[in-house]
């Protein structure tokens, strides 16, 4: 199997200033949720991208000095020489596969809190800090402040060059860049040579660009990343000015990295942005410059990639999320294995890591960030241990946990039998992907089922709801229970530790009822104590089915988890557009005779809502019956020759689909090993001093 000639253009080398990328696959800068306390994990993650064929692999923001401290948000620093060894490690790993290594120098200006360094935030004017809720303001930079900032930025660029980076960014992507803040007519109200018209407001950018090119331009490409279109209601600079800015400086950088503002438009979930969604907003840039342009668009189809290149939209296929979901996407295209691409579903669980100050995760790729920590590879798994018991592994349940477990076990060489009670595989993925906006989530099932159908050591059984007796009779030495969970109808969740609605109360439903189409008319009241993506999707489904819908939540904000996935504001807009009422900070007291009584969280005052249907989106009950019944029958297990009994996914502890996938993958890798230690991954400790060995 070889590469389709239609895709040859994707593998052409492209020059970027003094360096040349081996192909057009460009992993653009992206955050990871950990910052510089995990340099080995970061190097391992970026190395896997290079191994997967990406021609350029970039870091996230590297903060240039102590005046840009964004704690508690994870950040990587290039403040001093002590920060160089961690970056050298990443560069060496990326260079080992012939890829270029890029770094994104950044200073957040008035978006910096400086809670750790206690430095005064700096910006073009004295302004309230833009991120967070700190009641502090920035200092308006005078000429000496500007000179110091230019010097520190230049020193950071020289450190990046010493670390071995091939590409060095100037960051002016969002309003949280000091260069963007100076350029903004809304923020920059100065009256000196750094304020006023666009040329003056761009002065600091030109000075920093010239400083950087003078310092590192002999060996490093100097790149500018900018928001080429402002889609927010109150933009920090007008779209016409961005056009003029790029035209004014068209030939000065070695490459333009262009996206749209703000982050929720640049990295929208699949509800709000399909593949190639940025083309209409950034296509004009190529007409302004002869320099190469990289753009993003959650690219997973090589046909879409080729189309944008041939039509002169972009020169490089930029990607963050698709490179996380499948680090080997370029190699699969090059080797003619397009159907093996693990396509991004646009759920933004990866971005939630940054916003929750935690490890980046991926629904599709459970190995992300575990490359160094646990030695996991997204395409490879170690062969089954010679000591593993003979006979197949029986997996009961064909949802996300069961499918991932089966696939990884099969790759390791185990014989696998998977039994699913329904007539289709996928479990909750199959159900939830039928909801409005979540259609692309079916890729989680389709990727795994397609791979399993190609394997000769896997048997799939549909319409097979196994009893404990049948499990014991099957003859599998390892049994995995992955039969999911069901939504509660009694209201138990975060706001209620005990039932608030009696069992079998008329007109009380669960998400399963909505998905099954059992509610098709009347007024529907959703009580959302879950706070995830599901409540809004159910509301939209009910609205489409003709219901009058209201969402009430005990939380102080609507669908609060979705703030982490960049959806909350746009989802709220969707609710307003569709006439779906949203009421926050109300806790359910009771539901009787079509009337729901709620209590205000702040005042205790009660109010009534009439509804023909109450949909409880609170918590789920794990389906533990099979595992518990088997575990109680120790004699039966011994007689049947079952040496391993396991439960994974939602039937063990309900969570996101990403949690279920991870659980299935983890068990499949460890099922034949020693009982797992309490600390099951490599930990990172203090960095070595400069000049000492780092490995």
The average pLDDT across 197-223 equals 97
Annotation says 550 is catalytic: no
Tell me the C-alpha distance between 237 and 226, whole Å: 12
- Residue 131 structure tokens: 């991120």
Query: pLDDT at position 693, please?
Result: 59
Query: pLDDT at position 586, please?
Result: 97
The average pLDDT across 515-535 equals 95
Query: pLDDT at position 128, please?
Result: 76
- Residue 53 structure tokens: 């064929």
Asked whether 245 and 183 are in contact (CB, 8 A), the reply is: yes
The average pLDDT across 386-400 equals 88
The tens digit of pLDDT for each residue in 67-88 reads: 998 888 888 999 999 999 999 9
Classify burial at 601, counting beta carbons within 10 Å of its beta carbon; exposed 0-12, middle 13-18, buried 19 or more. Answer: middle
The average pLDDT across 630-640 equals 96
- Is the pLDDT confidence value at 689 over 60? no
Query: pLDDT at position 692, please?
Result: 54
Q: List the catalytic residue out of 107, 174, 646, 665.
A: 174
Task: Transcribe 464-487 into DSSP letters.
Answer: ----HHHHHHH--SEEEE---EEE
131 pLDDT tier (thresholds 50, 70, 90): low
Q: List the catalytic residue out of 31, 344, 362, 651.
A: 31
- pTM for the model: 0.95
Annotation says 662 is catalytic: no
Residues with Cβ within 8 Å of 338's Cβ and at least 6 positions away in sequence, in order, are 4, 302, 332
Tell me the C-alpha distance between 462 and 233, whole Å: 50
Give the CA count within 13 Å in the CB-facing half-sphere of 150.
19
**Cα dist. 262→255, 518, 570 in Å?**
21, 39, 12
Tell me the C-alpha distance between 596 and 150, whole Å: 61
Residues with Cβ within 8 Å of 226's Cβ and at least 6 positions away in sequence, in order, are 172, 173, 180, 242, 245, 246, 256, 257, 258, 259
Q: CA dihedral in degrees (421, 426, 428, 432; nearest 10)?
A: -130
Tell me the C-alpha distance between 435 and 330, whole Å: 31
Annotation says 347 is catalytic: no
The average pLDDT across 665-674 equals 92
- Residue 149 structure tokens: 């900032």
Tell me the C-alpha distance between 439 and 619, whole Å: 23
Q: What is the CA radius of gyration of the chain?
A: 27
Q: Are strands 19-21 and 14-16 parallel, antiparallel or unpaired?
A: antiparallel
Asked whether 328 and 289 are in contact (CB, 8 A), the reply is: no
Query: pLDDT at position 365, please?
Result: 98
- Is the pLDDT confidence value at 552 over 90? yes
- Is the pLDDT confidence value at 575 over 80? yes
Angle, alpha carbons 257-259-261 (nearest 5°)? 140
687 pLDDT tier (thresholds 50, 70, 90): low
- Is the pLDDT confidence value at 694 over 90? no
- Is the pLDDT confidence value at 690 over 60? no
The tens digit of pLDDT for each residue in 248-284 reads: 999 999 999 999 988 888 899 999 999 999 999 999 9
Query: pLDDT at position 679, please?
Result: 73
Helix, strand, coil share of the chain (percent; to 5): 35, 20, 45
691 pLDDT tier (thresholds 50, 70, 90): low
The average pLDDT across 333-355 equals 96
Q: List the catalytic residue out of 26, 83, 113, 171.
A: 171
Query: pLDDT at position 3, please?
Result: 93
- Residue 18 structure tokens: 């003094």
Annotation says 266 is catalytic: yes
- Residue 332 structure tokens: 């699969």
The tens digit of pLDDT for each residue in 347-391 reads: 999 999 989 989 999 999 999 999 999 999 999 999 998 877 678
The tens digit of pLDDT for each residue in 464-500 reads: 999 999 999 998 999 999 999 999 999 999 999 999 9
What average pLDDT does the chain have?
94
Domain architecture of the chain: domains with CATH: 5-346 (3.20.20.70), 393-484+623-670 (3.40.50.720), 488-619 (3.50.50.60)
Tell me the C-alpha distance between 541 and 547, whole Å: 9
């Amino acid at each position: 199997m070889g590469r389709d000639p239609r895709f040859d253009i994707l593998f052409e080398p492209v020059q970027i200033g003094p360096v040349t990328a081996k192909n057009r696959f460009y992993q653009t800068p992206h955050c990871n949720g950990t910052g510089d306390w995990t340099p080995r994990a970061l190097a391992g993650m970026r190395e896997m991208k290079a191994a997967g064929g990406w021609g350029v692999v970039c870091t996230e923001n590297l903060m240039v000095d102590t005046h840009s401290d964004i704690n508690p948000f994870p950040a990587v620093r290039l403040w001093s020489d002590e920060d160089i060894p961690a970056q050298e490690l990443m560069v060496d790993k990326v260079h080992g596969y012939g890829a270029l290594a890029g770094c994104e120098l950044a200073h957040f200006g008035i978006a910096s809190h400086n809670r750790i360094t206690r430095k005064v935030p700096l910006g073009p004017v004295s302004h309230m800090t833009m991120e967070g809720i700190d009641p502090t303001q920035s200092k308006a930079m005078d000429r000496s402040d500007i000179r110091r900032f230019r010097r520190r930025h230049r020193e950071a660029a020289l450190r990046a060059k010493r670390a071995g980076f091939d590409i060095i960014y100037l960051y002016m992507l969002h309003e949280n860049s000091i260069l963007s803040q100076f350029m903004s007519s809304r923020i920059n109200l100065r009256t000196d040579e750094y304020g006023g018209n666009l040329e003056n407001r761009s002065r600091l950018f030109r000075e920093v660009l010239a400083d950087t090119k003078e310092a590192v331009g002999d060996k490093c490409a100097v790149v500018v990343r900018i928001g080429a279109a402002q889609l927010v209601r109150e933009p920090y600079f007008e779209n016409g000015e961005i056009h003029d800015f790029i035209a004014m400086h068209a030939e000065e950088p070695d490459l333009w990295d262009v996206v749209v503002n703000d982050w929720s438009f640049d990295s929208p979930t699949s509800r709000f942005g399909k593949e190639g969604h940025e083309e209409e907003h950034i296509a004009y840039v190529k007409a302004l410059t002869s320099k190469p342009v990289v753009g993003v668009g959650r690219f997973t189809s090589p046909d879409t990639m080729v189309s944008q290149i041939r039509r002169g939209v972009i020169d490089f296929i930029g990607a963050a999320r698709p490179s996380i979901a499948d680090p080997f996407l370029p190699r699969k295209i090059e080797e003619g294995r397009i159907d093996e691409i693990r396509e991004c579903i646009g759920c933004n669980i990866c971005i939630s890591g940054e916003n929750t100050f935690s490890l980046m995760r991926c629904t599709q790729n459970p190995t992300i960030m575990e490359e160094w920590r646990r030695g996991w590879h997204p395409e490879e798994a170690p062969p089954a241990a010679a000591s593993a018991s003979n006979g197949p592994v029986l997996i009961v349940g064909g949802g996300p946990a069961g499918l991932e477990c089966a696939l990884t076990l099969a790759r390791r060489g185990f014989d696998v039998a998977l039994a699913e009670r329904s007539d289709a595989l996928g479990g909750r993925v199959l159900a939830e992907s039928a909801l409005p906006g979540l259609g692309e989530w079916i890729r989680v099932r389709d990727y795994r089922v397609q791979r399993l159908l190609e394997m000769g050591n896997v048997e799939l059984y549909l319409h097979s709801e196994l009893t404990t007796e049948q499990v014991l009779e099957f003859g599998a030495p390892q049994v995995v229970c992955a039969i999911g969970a069901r939504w509660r109808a009694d209201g138990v969740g975060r706001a209620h530790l005990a039932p608030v609605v009696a069992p079998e109360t008329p007109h009380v439903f669960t998400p399963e009822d909505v998905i099954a189409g059992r509610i098709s008319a009347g007024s529907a009241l959703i009580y959302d104590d879950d706070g995830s993506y599901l409540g809004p999707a159910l509301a939209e489904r009910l609205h489409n089915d003709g219901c009058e819908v209201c969402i009430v939540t005990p939380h102080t904000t609507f669908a609060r988890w979705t703030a982490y996935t960049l959806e909350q504001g746009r989802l709220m807009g969707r609710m307003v557009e569709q006439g779906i009422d949203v009421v926050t900070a109300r806790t359910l007291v009771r539901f009787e005779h079509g009337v729901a009584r709620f209590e205000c969280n702040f005042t205790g005052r009660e109010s009534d809502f009439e509804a023909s249907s109450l949909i409880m989106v609170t918590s789920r009950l794990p389906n533990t019956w099979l595992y518990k019944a088997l575990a109680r029958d120790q004699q039966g297990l011994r007689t049947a020759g079952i040496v391993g009994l396991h439960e994974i996914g939602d039937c063990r502890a309900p969570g996101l689909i990403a949690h279920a996938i991870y659980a299935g993958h983890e068990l499949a890798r460890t099922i034949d090993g020693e009982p797992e230690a309490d600390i099951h991954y490599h930990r990172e400790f203090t960095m070595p001093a400069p000049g000492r060995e780092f490995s």
